[in-house]
Amino acid sequence: MPALPCPAYNKRVSTNILNADLHCHSVISDGTLTPEVLAARAKANGVELWALTDHDEIGGQHRAMAAAQAFQLPYLTGTEISITFAGKTVHIVGLGFDADNTDMVQGLRSTRGGRGERAQEMSDGLAKVGIRDAYQGALKYAGNPELISRTHFARFLVETGVCQDTSEVFRRYLTEGKPGFVPHRWASLKDAVGWIVNAHGVAVIAHPGRYGFTANEEYALFTEFKAHGGRAVEVVTGSHTPDEYVKYADMAQEFDLAASRGSDFHSPDESRIDLGALPWLPGQLTPVWDLLAERIQ
Ligand code: AMP
Ligand code: MN
Ligand code: MN
Ligand code: MN
């Protein structure tokens, strides 16, 4: 794929003022739009640098890249890898890696393994509280059965009127201690960062405000992430409050990490923040795209 220049990037005095959206999902994981429709939506919303970051899967990268190129929308490859850290599921975003890297493709395949069995167990848990056939119901929503996720169960429970919206489903059924929650052992932090770095990409801690870690656990996450070669953290994301923008801007500086910006858009009906609709990255931070200028296509 020939490299495209990123005109908006080259023109700006401060590269922080760039409408980059480096986190979203398509039907290849748990989003509801195709990569092509997402590219069109990103372009229409004024996004100037885009990455599609499907969960644990890079099978949509060539489609996303081709669609972005058709719209002259500068693109970085992306993914969001599920890992287990301190007993919780944490997400690591990878950006600007080689989409054909075999170790990464195989590593992601191994981390996807087990989602099917977990989904069956989730369905058994839901059956115990009177919700029947949830596995089949969720599967209908999964564009890619290998990536069946809690989001697909949430859509099924909204469809059948058990809950009003997906947040209510997560609150009542799909989080720790609730009937449809099944803990799962994902990849390790070291593996996920290693796959990304070895494929010439940059690893980013996704939405750190979401994990409910203690200060000590969070410190350990940032420290180990850096030790494994991680270089950035999401500061401005659809999953953070304005107070969290400030908190993680400070942590980015404390840990000498670059900062990323991404909506985490999944669906026009479910997502709070649309593609390209976030505040700018705080001026004192190094944007992650400064580390990736040569990887923009
Ligand atoms: P899984 O990988 O199967 O554990 O599913 C995780 C996905 O569920 C995340 O990527 C989000 O898209 C979604 N999710 C997690 N927590 C919530 C929540 N509280 N409300 C809505 N969606 C959520
Ligand atoms: Mn998701
Ligand atoms: Mn996530
Ligand atoms: Mn995400």
- Looking at the DSSP assignment, which residues form a beta bridge with residue 24? 265
Ligand 1 centroid from CA 151, angstroms = 6
- pLDDT of the residue at 1: 29
- Whether residue 222 contacts residue 255, with contact meaning beta carbons closer than 8 Å, is answered with yes
Using one digit for the tens of pLDDT, what is the confidence trace for 181-221?
999 999 999 999 999 999 999 999 999 999 999 999 999 99
pLDDT tens sequence across 94-139:
999 999 999 999 999 999 999 999 999 999 999 999 999 999 999 9
Percent of the chain with pLDDT over 70: 96
Residue 92: the pLDDT is 99
Q: Which listed ligand is nearest to 151 at the C-alpha?
A: 1
- The set of residues, in sequence order, having a beta carbon less than 8 Å from that of 220 and lying 6+ positions away, is 86
SS (H, E, C) 133-165: CHHHHHHHHCCCHHHCCHHHHHHHHHHCCCCCC
Nearest CA owner, ligand 1 atom 11: 151
- pTM for the full predicted model: 0.96
Residues 34-65: tens digit of each pLDDT:
999 999 999 999 999 999 999 999 999 999 99
Task: List alpha helices for the chain, DSSP H.
Answer: 7-11, 35-44, 61-70, 102-112, 115-128, 134-141, 150-159, 166-169, 189-198, 215-227, 242-254, 288-291
CA of 211 to the centre of ligand 4 (A): 13
